[in-house]
Amino acid sequence: MKIINQTKNTILAENVIVADRPFQRIKGLLGKKEFKPGQALVLKPCNSIHTFFMKFPIDVLFVDKDNRVIKAVPTLKPFCLTYIYFRAILAIELPVGTIPSTLTQEGDTLTLI
């Protein structure tokens, strides 16, 4: 699976894991030692995340039902908690630096293929 920013015509990730079951969403990236460029974790459904007990910072995108980015959170450090974004139906966790390097911002439309 790939995640493409249709608005900017950039690829956010080419190695995507979808966590759409309760245990998968709870576990998320916990226990991972690294998160390589080109990887992503899609949490579905999800409107808030935490990075408690994680070993590295991440970039996070919250996306609505129209696949539009409603909140971009670059460099979310370990042991942090995001706000609840009530319109979000999924969260996309990306390696730190992905948001600025792809120029992704709020309002952009994404495609998951």
- CA–CA distance, 85 with 77 (Å, rounded to integer): 18
* Contacting residues for 25 by C-beta, under 8 A, at least 6 apart: 19, 43, 44, 46
**What are residue 58's DSSP bridge partners?**
76, 95
Q: Whole-angstrom Cα distance, residue 93 to residue 104?
A: 13
Q: pLDDT for 56-98, tens place per residue?
A: 999 999 999 999 999 999 999 999 999 999 999 999 999 999 9
User: Which pTM was predicted?
Assistant: 0.94
What are the structural domains of the chain?
3-112 (2.60.120.1140)
The letter for the amino acid at 41 is L
Pair 8, 111: CB distance under 8 Å: no
Give per-residue pLDDT as tens, 25-41.
Answer: 878 887 788 899 999 99
